[in-house]
């Protein structure tokens, strides 16, 4: 599977429950990734590894007004309806002390296992979603770099 196909796979996980919006907050590009200038309209930030693992950030209005539990459940429901299998959920925190929820999924694409890691952070005004995913073999090689990058998100 080529980089463009993997990128489309990740881009295809957009939430139907969230409205499209810009993203003024970014995160630090992980080691081994290159930031992409031609980001998809729904994302304010995207980077890819040479193997096609993609990390992307979007910022949406918190409308309808929901808390972290609401948005994590909305994400989980949407992704499960698209065939993603929930592996686990955990708490995650940015370097600035904002607590979020991280959901890990698996799905098989073209006979190969893929990973999708979705982190959601919520404040009164905004919902931040950080998506990272790709072929499980390649994702395993960059999972620490991705986890560290998620922590650099400015979601305050």
Closest CA to 79 of 38, 121, 126, 114: 114
**Of 17-26, 35-44, 70-79, 89-98, which range is least confident?**
17-26
Domain ranges in the chain are 3-150
Closest CA to 84 of 59, 111, 60, 113: 113
The class that CATH gives domain 3-150 is alpha beta
Q: What is the band of 84 on the pLDDT scale with cuts at 50, 70, 90?
A: very high
- Res 39: pLDDT: 59
19 vs 33: CA distance, rounded Å: 27
Once rounded to an integer, what is the mean pLDDT over residues 28-54? 87
Backbone angles phi, psi at 148, to 5 degrees: -65, -35
Model pTM above 0.85: no
């Amino acid at each position: 599977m080529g980089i463009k196909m993997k990128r489309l796979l990740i881009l295809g996980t957009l939430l139907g429950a969230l409205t499209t919006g810009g993203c003024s907050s970014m995160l630090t590009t992980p080691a081994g990734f290159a930031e992409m200038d031609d980001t998809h309209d729904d994302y304010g930030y995207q980077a890819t590894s040479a193997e096609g693992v993609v990390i992307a950030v979007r910022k949406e209005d918190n409308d309808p007004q929901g808390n972290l539990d609401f948005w994590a459940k909305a994400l989980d429901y949407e992704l499960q309806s698209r065939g993603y299998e929930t592996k686990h959920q955990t708490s995650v925190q940015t370097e600035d002390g904002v607590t979020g929820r991280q959901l890990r999924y698996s799905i098989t694409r073209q006979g190969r296992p893929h990973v999708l890691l979705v982190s959601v952070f919520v404040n009164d005004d905004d919902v931040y979603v950080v998506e990272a995913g790709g072929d499980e073999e390649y994702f395993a090689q960059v999972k620490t770099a991705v986890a560290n990058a998620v922590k650099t998100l400015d979601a305050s």
